[in-house]
Amino acid sequence: MSSIIQLLPDHVANQIAAGEVVQRPASVVKELLENAIDAKATDIKLVVKDAGKTLIQVIDNGMGMSVTDARLCFERHATSKIRHAEDLFDLHTKGFRGEALASIAAIAHVELKTKRDQEELGTHIVIEGSKFVAQDAAVLPKGTSFLVKNLFFNIPARRNFLKSDTVEMRHVIDEFQRVALAHPSIYFTLIHNGSEMFNLPPSNYRQRIVNLLGGKTNEKLVPVTEDTEIVKISGFIGKPEFAKKNRNEQFFFVNDRFIKSAYLHHAIMSAYEGLLKEGNQPSYFLYLQVPPNTIDINIHPTKTEIKFDDEQSLYAILRSAVKHSLGQFNVAPVLDFERDPNLDTPYDYRSKESEMPLIQVDSNFNPFADGATTTVAKKSSGGGSYSSNPFPKKETTSWESLYVDLKSDTEEVASISFESEEVTGNLFQHEEKEEEIASKTYQFHKKYIISSIKSGMLVVDQNKAHQRVLYEQYLANITVQSASSQQLLFPLELYFSFEEMELLKELKPSLENTGFIFDKMDKERVLISGIPVTVQESEVSIVLEELISNLQNEVPENTFSLNDGIAKSMAKSLAVKTGTLLTEREQENLVNALFACKEPNVSPFNRPTFVTLSVEDLDKKFTL
């Protein structure tokens, strides 16, 4: 009987490894950028075409590779980062597994150009699907250039799973930002489809954050510093008033490596307790330096999760450092127990002895004694003297004389009138007709609208009902492209990050169909001169931020889905909230508008908008 177990060919094994290492174009970007950093490059350029599906190129001025290294780097488990198993717990580089380049070469067309500084000629290698096509000597500048074309060309099923260019480019930008934030001393450039998106010269951490996220970010940052034996913390946190609904501006870096940690994030949220609105997320850019032997990086394929030896101490230190910064820069109220120098004794009076104050009291004075009059200076039993009373009292023969003018009888007491208990009218001033009562609506707990119907009672959720009304209204305006706008006296100026501005530019045509009028859109600023009639000027920034937040992680694949998402997001933001008091006319208008909709039964998010209670249902409640 032939054996069942067989060794997989290298190209098959590489494709299996690629499924773990390379999930999308952003995965290739991450691996190539980290290799460039490990090569001690000071200038790194990333060139992307069609969100990385067609072309990804990383050019650096690092140390380069020899002919032998250039060939070996595409072999599985070949790496320059480690030599022994013990090195896994003393890592000072980005990559260490030796599978990235082999995996990338297995599913794409790869060209490598590299040259070391001390060599005259460099090496040019061409690989297609793990097969070496060519290897030549070439005249090249110092450094390395990796060019990856036609990603997943030999795995069409994987290529079909890729999202739209907009979504994939967002992931590429995310990886680029994480690497650029961790290394502000390196010059980074990002070019997409021939246009320069980022040009980041060498700077410090604060300037790098501002260059990536926009100039207005500078006023939002609060520095954080802490140095202990366990961890050294530096970086910045955002002020609570600038918190957003999304978590796009939250970065942890451990030993210059971006990580995700729900445990450390909880420490940050604990420090912000009581300072954030419900659902808001603070911004933070925190850099942690810990001894390499106290962490384990090799627990996740993308190396974005780390296991710490002493998580509890790290949690406490991080929470304390953030809370201290919020109080130190007067962001949060604090109790200050430090001594106030203004309360100190003046220098001239320090040598003087304190003197007891003289308190003079006439212990013999009796206000109820007959003929009590103002006395002049008398001698006390102790021999002390008393000064004359500066406020002489009016002489009275006795205390009874104070009440001489009051009547002793109870005539006026008897004249007090009490509220009559007699019923002067009916409980209802006038009897209403049955039709009038049936048409009335009542608001219950500022949340539900109750109205009577022939079969019983109608209970409407005012928030979900208004969402349905606004959703159909906005969707119709976007589709028909006929929405009314109200002009603003002064244009509204709003600031967003680069990534948010790119998404806003894509949403611009659909937003204009809802009533927005955009005068100007820069790299990080937008001027709005007109807004929809149903939107207040103070709500514009909130509506746009929530819209961007809702669509940022799930950008629709087609125009209809995009318009549907915009209508849903705006309806959710602008719908009347629970707890809002509505007048009787507003209640009736909302109920009438709801039942004029095409689908009044459910909200845009498939939640019931109303329920009905029949008379039979109510009768059962009162039946024993």
- CATH code where residue 122 lies: 3.30.565.10
d(CA 31, CA 45): 14
Mean pLDDT value of segment 47-61: 93
User: What DSSP state is assigned to residue 340?
Assistant: P
pLDDT-derived band at 434 (thresholds 50, 70, 90) equals: very low
Q: Which of 167, 200, 233 is the last residue of a domain?
A: 200
CA angle 41, 45, 48 (to 5 degrees): 145
601 and 487 within one domain: yes
100 and 37 within one domain: yes
Burial 323-335, CB ≥16 within 10 A → b, else e:
bbbbeeeebbeee
Average model confidence (pLDDT) across the chain: 80
The share of the chain scoring above pLDDT 90, in percent, equals 25
Q: What is the DSSP string of 107-158?
A: SSEEEEEEE-TT-SSEEEEEEETTEEEEEEEE---SEEEEEEESTTTT-HHH
Mean pLDDT value of segment 242-249: 84
266 and 151 within one domain: no
Asked if residue 150 lies in contact with residue 176, where contact means CB atoms within 8 angstroms, the answer is: no
Q: Which of 279, 302, 328 is the last residue of a domain?
A: 328
172 and 305 within one domain: no
170 and 220 within one domain: no
Task: Assign residue 587 the CATH number of its domain.
Answer: 3.30.1370.100
| Domain count across the chain | 3
187 and 269 within one domain: no
Mean pLDDT value of segment 461-490: 85
β-strands 43-49, 187-192: how paired?
Answer: parallel
Residue 410 belongs to a domain: no
- Residue-wise pLDDT tens digits, 504-518: 888 888 888 888 888
Residue 407 belongs to a domain: no
What is the pTM assigned to this prediction?
0.69
Residue 412 belongs to a domain: no
168 burial type by CB count under 10 A (0-12 exposed, 13-18 middle, 19+ buried): buried
Query: Can you give the residue range of the structural domain that contains 224?
Result: 205-328
472 and 504 within one domain: yes
Residue 371 belongs to a domain: no
User: What DSSP state is assigned to residue 602?
Assistant: B
pLDDT-derived band at 32 (thresholds 50, 70, 90) equals: very high
- Residue-wise pLDDT tens digits, 336-376: 556 566 666 666 666 777 778 788 778 788 878 765 554 44
90 and 37 within one domain: yes
167 and 210 within one domain: no
pLDDT-derived band at 55 (thresholds 50, 70, 90) equals: very high
- Residue-wise pLDDT tens digits, 142-177: 999 999 999 988 888 888 888 888 888 888 999 999
Residue 592 belongs to a domain: yes
pLDDT-derived band at 546 (thresholds 50, 70, 90) equals: confident
Residue with tokens 């990385």: 52
Q: What is the pLDDT of residue 377?
A: 44
Residue 409 belongs to a domain: no
d(CA 462, CA 465): 5
Burial 572-582, CB ≥16 within 10 A → b, else e:
bbbbbeeeeeb
Q: What is the pLDDT of residue 403?
A: 62
211 and 178 within one domain: no
Q: Which of 159, 177, 200 is the last residue of a domain?
A: 200
Residue 366 belongs to a domain: no
597 and 506 within one domain: yes
182 and 243 within one domain: no
Residue 457 belongs to a domain: yes
Structure tokens given for 405: 């003018």
CA angle 546, 548, 550 (to 5 degrees): 65
